[in-house]
Amino acid sequence: MLTFVLMLSFTEENYLKSLFQLTVETALKEEAGTNELAAHLGVKPATVNDMLKKLKEKKLVKYEKYGKSSLTKEGRKIAIEVIRKHRLWETFLFEKLEFSWDEVHEVAEQLEHIQSKKLIDQLDKLLNYPVSDPHGDPIPNAKGELLILHQHTLAEELVGHQCKMTGVKDNSSPFLKYVDQLGLAITKTIKVLARHEYDDLIEIEVNGKRISVSPKLAENIFVVCTACKKKSKR
Amino acid sequence: MLTFVLMLSFTEENYLKSLFQLTVETALKEEAGTNELAAHLGVKPATVNDMLKKLKEKKLVKYEKYGKSSLTKEGRKIAIEVIRKHRLWETFLFEKLEFSWDEVHEVAEQLEHIQSKKLIDQLDKLLNYPVSDPHGDPIPNAKGELLILHQHTLAEELVGHQCKMTGVKDNSSPFLKYVDQLGLAITKTIKVLARHEYDDLIEIEVNGKRISVSPKLAENIFVVCTACKKKSKR
DNA sequence: TATATTTGTTAGACTTACCTAACAAATTAA
DNA sequence: TTAATTTGTTAGGTAAGTCTAACAAATATA
């Protein structure tokens, strides 16, 4: 069997990854708009426009003029590979090289583009086939299968419920440092004590202490809740 | 103290590395020509010409029209950093990820451009501060100090002398596989038994067996020889 | 030393990924 | 349902890194 390996640039890989993250991954929708992608990638809409045409040519995205865009099966496959590499590298940096969870993202952004199947498979083996990265995000396996956690954000959690922290939405260093400071971390048990109408703060119990968190913070904390059992949106 | 970090592209880093390898490192001379660099980098002389002007602008190379080029102090510093990264990655792949010595080079070519001081320092620590890579090449330390072995090639070795293999000049996979096949490897003891005028083959003893090797091969094998004690050229 | 060869340079062109500015289509609001 | 706003597109421009083709300088050879 002859397999054609189409070589993609770092940039092209990043567009596919962004599109994946804006659609399949965290969001509920199937498509993303040009401006939305531009904001996510930190470039101008005109640039995204050019790239969408190019990626459509290569049959990696579905795109029609003035329409929303989405990944093709092949495009999704590549996006998942990049995400797998990113998260394995993050795990490596955290587990083996003494990086803290707020430091891993930036370096993994570079490492995720290294081309070598053997490298990634061996890294996976060295780390003992981890299922999630330091931020709690699931790591796709070598077949491209991705465990989808039935998680929602802390902001959506009901008063009185107890849940467990499973990850974060925002991977920026300042946010992660703040999370650390508050004593929050993946696997911690969180109980929602109250929601204050007056200033929208959410009062929670964690580590046996009561703290108040902003809705902005709560929206970036993922949790699972057995009490909830609300049907997952994916 | 304010330090200005000038960000270089992968390409610029590769030019500095090539220039280092063609001058300071293996060769005896201090300068390299445009065509020579072009051949080493696999690009056309015209391209090198443009880049030399650009790197001169940035004070990383010394270059005058129609003259040979060399690295400035700052350029050499950067080249050594890239080489350090390359060789640490090669060692990592070989030691931790089960790569063979003919597989490490290609992947290290990509990894050497990742920007993160912490990454490299931690990698160095994880590997326990190695002094040479799987090909026997010395790894510069964090201060940019590079151990220079007083080595020469097997082709230069005198008949009757016994030496020890310390490295290879050619890092290509076919060459390295061939070296493996012949039973040659770093640290092996080699005795030069004879040189045959007729076909230039060199007869050596290694692993207790007599084999004949071509001058081409011998030119790509580094050895040290106590009997020789010939003054090193660097 | 004159000529041939090698080595290095210049000019102009291409591609990728980005930009700005002007415009067009689609959506939202009045 | 028209007008305002948002969203998306086009055209044209820039910088990096590459190329080819023509030329110039330096070096080697006769």
> What pLDDT, on a 0 to 100 scale, did the predictor assign at position A40?
97
- When mean pLDDT is compared across A28-32, A88-92, B80-84, B228-232, the lowest value belongs to B228-232
Does strand D come within 7 Å of the CB of A45? Answer: yes
Closest nucleotide to residue A53 (Cα to C1')?
D9
**Contact between chains at B93 and A126 (C-beta distance less than 8 A):** no
> What pLDDT, on a 0 to 100 scale, did the predictor assign at position A232?
40
Domain residue extents for chain B = 10-71, 152-224
DSSP 3-state of A222: strand
Q: What is the DSSP letter of A63?
A: -
Q: How confident is the model at residue B230 (pLDDT cuts 50, 70, 90)?
A: very low
> What pLDDT, on a 0 to 100 scale, did the predictor assign at position B229?
63
Neighboring chain B residues of A104 at a CB cutoff of 8 Å:
none
End-to-end CA distance of chain A: 35
Q: How much of chain A exceeds pLDDT 90, in percent?
A: 76
Q: Does A107 score more than 80 pLDDT?
A: yes
From the candidate CATH numbers 3.90.1150.10, 3.30.565.10, 1.10.10.10, 3.40.50.620, the one assigned to the domain spanning A87-148: 1.10.10.10
CATH topology for B10-71 is Arc Repressor Mutant, subunit A (1.10.10)
CATH topology for B152-224 is SH3 type barrels. (2.30.30)
> What pLDDT, on a 0 to 100 scale, did the predictor assign at position A233?
37
Does strand D come within 7 Å of the CB of A33? Answer: yes
Q: Which is higher by pLDDT, B28 or B223?
A: B223
Q: What is the mean pLDDT of residues B96-122?
A: 97
* CATH topology identical between A10-71 and A87-148: yes
Q: How confident is the model at residue A230 (pLDDT cuts 50, 70, 90)?
A: very low
> What pLDDT, on a 0 to 100 scale, did the predictor assign at position B29?
84
> B30-61, pLDDT tens digit by residue?
899 999 999 999 999 999 999 999 999 999 99
A and B: number of Cβ contacts within 8 A: 41
- What sign has the CA pseudo-torsion B65, B68, B72, B75? positive
Residue B111 contacts A, CB cutoff 8 Å: yes
- Protein contacts on strand D: list nucleotides below 7 Å from a Cβ: 7-12, 16-22, 25-26
> What pLDDT, on a 0 to 100 scale, did the predictor assign at position A1?
66
**Contact between chains at A126 and B96 (C-beta distance less than 8 A):** yes
Residues 6+ apart with CB under 8 A from A121: A142
Q: State the number of CA atoms in the 13 A half-sphere of B24 facing the CB.
A: 18
Q: How much of chain B exceeds pLDDT 70, in percent?
A: 94
Q: What is the mean pLDDT of residues A141-165?
A: 88
- When mean pLDDT is compared across A65-69, A129-133, A148-152, B136-140, the lowest value belongs to A148-152
Q: Does A171 score more than 70 pLDDT?
A: yes
Q: How much of chain B exceeds pLDDT 90, in percent?
A: 76
Q: What is the mean pLDDT of residues B96-105?
A: 96
From residue A70, give the alpha-carbon distance in Å to each of A17, A76, A93, A156, B214: 11, 9, 32, 27, 58
Q: Based on the number of CB atoms within 10 Å of its own CB, is A126 exposed (0-12), middle (13-18) or buried (19 or more)?
A: middle
Q: What is the mean pLDDT of residues A175-202?
A: 91
Q: What is the mean pLDDT of residues A23-37?
A: 87
From the list A69, A113, A55, A121, the residue with the least C-alpha distance to B113 is A113
Q: What is the DSSP letter of A152?
A: E
Q: What is the DSSP letter of B154?
A: G
Distance CA A138, CA A87 (A): 8
> B110-169, pLDDT tens digit by residue?
999 999 999 999 999 999 999 999 998 899 999 998 887 778 899 999 999 999 998 898
> What pLDDT, on a 0 to 100 scale, did the predictor assign at position A53?
97
Distance CA B175, CA B217 (A): 8
Q: Which is higher by pLDDT, A210 or B29?
A: A210
Return mean pLDDT, chain B. 91
> What pLDDT, on a 0 to 100 scale, did the predictor assign at position B147?
80
Q: How many CB atoms lie within 10 A of CB A47?
A: 15
> What pLDDT, on a 0 to 100 scale, did the predictor assign at position A29?
84
Q: What is the DSSP letter of B137?
A: P
What phi-psi label fits residue B190: left (phi over 0), alpha (psi between -120 and 50 degrees) or beta? beta
Q: What is the mean pLDDT of residues A28-32?
A: 86
Q: How far is the CA of B54 from the C1' of D21 (A)?
A: 23
Q: Looking at the complex, report in whole angstroms how far the Cα of residue A132 sits from the nearest Cα belonging to chain B.
A: 20
From residue B191, give the alpha-carbon distance in Å to each of A10, A130, B230: 49, 49, 17
> What pLDDT, on a 0 to 100 scale, did the predictor assign at position A165?
92
Distance CA B131, CA B13 (A): 22
| Residue of chain A whose Cα is closest to the Cα of B97 | A122
Q: Which is higher by pLDDT, A226 or A229?
A: A226
